[in-house]
Amino acid sequence: MAVDTTPRSTTWTHVDGEWLPGNPPLIGPTSHAMWLGSSVFDGARWFDGVAPDLDLHCQRINRSALAMGLKPVKSAEEIAALAWEGVAKFDGATAIYIKPMYWGEHGSPGSVVSVDAESTRFALCLFEAPMGGHGGTSLTVSPYRRPSPETAMTEAKTGSLYPNSGRMIAEARGRGFDNALVRDLNGNVVETASSNVFMVRDGVVMTPAANRTFLAGITRARVIGLLRKAGFDVVEATLSVEDFLQADEIFTTGNYSKVVGVTRLDGRDFQEGPVTRKALELYMDWAYGRSESEE
């Protein structure tokens, strides 16, 4: 029986100069991206009339393309303008995920494995996706690790890194948790399987130092800046699992759900604490323009 490829929510995709509804067939069996993984993407959000840091997400997709060996064919400004054009196609009742993508169509001359930058294609996909994370999330330490820059293309937000995240989440859910706390090859905590992670102890906010094994996200940087501006001591440091187990609060940041409190880490339960609530409040106030811009 054929698999139903209809998207699970209202979806519009801009490709080759036109907007197409649903899930248009774009990648074939000989496409380099389908066969050999040369794809990158980014994700921004639209909700309640705002698209926080859309410009930064549009800039990052072009950096990811270059890291993958692809050729950006749109400027960040062009991508952002298309995103707003796409947003207008929705009814505005549901939050939207904004996903620009590049991928390679052919291998380079003389090596099918290496992508031909001149064959780069671009698409911008927008789909309805309600904001999640309400009620908190639970974590367990994953047995799987994040790769180092020498072993994977960690400098890019590439689809090829996400099967590793997928197995982390599947393994965690098989043990009754929502997500996984993930370590690097040296055993230090770096993030969750799908978001950046923070902890609070004795009033100090701490987050794993960016060490090129994980994506130090745009929302992560925004929250760090907003908390520091509000007077919090925020430290980027090398952190262990034990550090997190001894924390007063844990929360995650990411584009998909912004700021989410952690309610359980393995055998320890947590309450959503005041710093977690303040981080979300500060972010939303900034997103809605209720506070002074933080650059």
Task: Report yes or no on 161 lying in a domain.
Answer: yes
- Claim to verify: residue 192 and residue 229 sit in the same structural domain: yes
- Claim to verify: residue 114 and residue 26 sit in the same structural domain: yes
- Claim to verify: residue 148 and residue 264 sit in the same structural domain: yes
| Portion of the chain with pLDDT greater than 70, in percent | 98
Task: Report yes or no on 67 lying in a domain.
Answer: yes
- Claim to verify: residue 124 and residue 144 sit in the same structural domain: no
- Claim to verify: residue 69 and residue 151 sit in the same structural domain: no
- Claim to verify: residue 98 and residue 147 sit in the same structural domain: no
Task: Report yes or no on 5 lying in a domain.
Answer: no
> Tell me, what CATH number does 19's domain have?
3.30.470.10
Query: What pLDDT does 290 receive?
Result: 84
- Claim to verify: residue 153 and residue 283 sit in the same structural domain: yes
Query: What pLDDT does 81 receive?
Result: 98
pLDDT above 70: residue 293: no
* Block residue for tokens 């994506």: 215
- Claim to verify: residue 143 and residue 271 sit in the same structural domain: yes
* Burial (Cβ within 10 Å: 0-12, 13-18, ≥19) of residue 200: buried
- Claim to verify: residue 98 and residue 123 sit in the same structural domain: yes
pLDDT above 90: residue 229: yes
Average pLDDT over residues 204-230: 97
- Residue-wise pLDDT for 18-43, tens only, equals 999 999 999 999 999 999 999 999 99
Q: How many domains would you assign to the chain? A: 2
- Claim to verify: residue 19 and residue 106 sit in the same structural domain: yes
Spatial distance between the Cα atoms of 200 and 268, rounded to a whole number of angstroms = 15
> Tell me, what CATH number does 231's domain have?
3.20.10.10
CA 161 centroid distance within chain: 12
At which of 95, 128, 161 does a domain end? 128
Query: What pLDDT does 1 receive?
Result: 81
Task: Report yes or no on 79 lying in a domain.
Answer: yes
Average pLDDT over residues 114-140: 94
Task: Report yes or no on 271 lying in a domain.
Answer: yes
CA 197 centroid distance within chain: 12
Query: What pLDDT does 295 receive?
Result: 47
- Claim to verify: residue 174 and residue 276 sit in the same structural domain: yes
At which of 83, 104, 128 does a domain end? 128
> Whole domain around residue 143: which residue ranges?
137-288
CB 214 within 8 A of CB 165: no
pLDDT above 50: residue 233: yes
- Residue-wise pLDDT for 75-91, tens only, equals 999 999 999 999 999 99
Task: Report yes or no on 70 lying in a domain.
Answer: yes
Q: At 137, which helix (H) or strand (E)?
A: strand 137-145
pLDDT above 60: residue 294: no
Q: What is the DSSP string of 62-128?
A: HHHHHHHT----S-HHHHHHHHHHHHTTS-SSS-EEEEEEEEE-SEETTEEEEE-GGGEEEEEEEEE
Length of the chain: 295
Mean pLDDT of the chain, nearest integer: 96
At which of 94, 128, 162 does a domain end? 128
- Claim to verify: residue 157 and residue 192 sit in the same structural domain: yes
262 pLDDT band, cuts 50/70/90, is: very high
Task: Report yes or no on 3 lying in a domain.
Answer: no
